[in-house]
Amino acid sequence: MSEPQELVETRGDDRVDLLTNDANGDGRTDVWVSDTDGDGKPDLYQFDTDGDGKVDVTMVDLDEDGTPDLIVDGDGGLPPAGTV
């Protein structure tokens, strides 16, 4: 994720800054990182590993120590609106 990042707004009433990245250079966003509690540290990571526009892996760092505490593989969710 060394290229410039883009901040976008997500769905809902609260503003959540979301870092997005095209990790494989195909011109489509495939990584979403967000700070869900507003403390300035990322704690939610989502990846589209197969390029189909759906989230394949979600990682949550609940205690924000840099190590994911929860990994959901194959959740098939959609990325936040406006990021694909």
CA dist list (Å): 22 to 9, 33, 39, 68, 72? 17, 12, 25, 21, 21
- What is the DSSP secondary structure assignment for residue 42, as one 8-state letter? -
What mean pLDDT comes out for the span 1-11? 49
Q: Which residues pair with 71 in a beta bridge?
A: 59
What mean pLDDT comes out for the span 5-24? 65
pLDDT in tens, 26-52: 888 899 888 888 888 888 888 988 888
Distance CA 82, CA 84 (A): 6
